[in-house]
C-alpha cells in the first residue's frame, strides 16, 4: 500500500502504523536523508521525547520501544552487539535506515513491518 504523507496527515498515518506494533516486532523505516523518518517516529510516539539516535546508536522510550539508527553501525557485528534478541523480548524495535541491514534483521524471530518513504516531485509518500 502507498499513501501520500504530508505534514497534515502524518499524525494520522503514524498512529495507524502504531496500532500494528506490539512487543517483539521490528518497524523498519527507510527513505532518503531529510524525508522525515525521525519526524514520523516523533508523531508516532508523541508521548515521548523522541530524538535521533544518530550519535547514541539506541534510545529507549518507556518500557515499550527501542529506537536505533542503522546508518551509524559500521558492520553487522556492531548491530548484533546491540542485543536485539533481548530488546525484542520486551519492546518494539524501531530501525531507521532499516534497508541497510534488511537481511540481518530477517534472521531474528520477529515480524518486520517495512515502511519506505520516497519523494515524487515535491510530495512525500509512504509505502508499506
Q: What is the pLDDT of residues 12-33, one digit of tens each?
A: 899 999 999 999 999 999 999 9
pLDDT, tens digit, 9 for 90 and up, residues 45-76 = 999 998 876 656 788 999 999 999 888 888 88
Nearest to 47 by CA among 90, 4, 18: 18
Tell me the helix, strand and coil percentages in the chain, rounded to 5.
35, 30, 40
pLDDT, tens only, 92-121: 999 999 999 999 999 998 999 999 998 888
DSSP annotation string for 26-81: EEEEE--TTSSHHHHHHHHTTTS----GGGTSEEEETTTEEEEEGGG-SSHHHHHT
Q: Which residues pair with 67 in a beta bridge?
A: 59, 94
Q: In the chain, where are the structural domains located? A: 2-127
Domain spanning 2-127, CATH class:
alpha beta
Of all residues in the chain, the percent with pLDDT exceeding 70 is: 91
Residue 7: is its pLDDT beyond 60?
no
Amino acid at each position: 500500500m502507498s499513501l501520500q504523507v504530508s505534514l497534515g496527515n502524518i499524525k494520522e498515518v503514524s498512529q495507524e502504523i502504531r496500532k500494528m506494533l506490539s512487543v517483539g516486532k521490528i518497524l523498519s523505516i527507510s527513505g532518503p536523508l531529510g524525508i522525515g523518518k525521525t519526524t514520523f517516529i516523533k508523531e508516532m510516539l508523541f508521548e515521548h521525547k523522541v530524538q535521533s539516535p544518530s550519535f547514541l546508536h539506541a534510545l529507549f522510550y518507556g518500557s515499550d520501544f527501542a529506537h536505533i539508527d542503522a546508518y551509524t553501525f559500521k558492520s553487522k557485528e556492531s548491530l548484533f552487539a546491540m542485543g536485539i534478541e533481548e530488546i525484542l523480548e520486551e519492546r518494539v524495535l524501531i530501525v531507521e535506515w532499516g534497508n541497510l541491514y534488511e537481511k540481518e534483521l530477517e534472521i531474528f524471530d520477529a515480524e518486520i513491518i517495512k515502511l519506505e518513504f520516497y519523494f515524487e516531485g515535491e510530495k512525500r509518500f509512504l509505502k508499506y
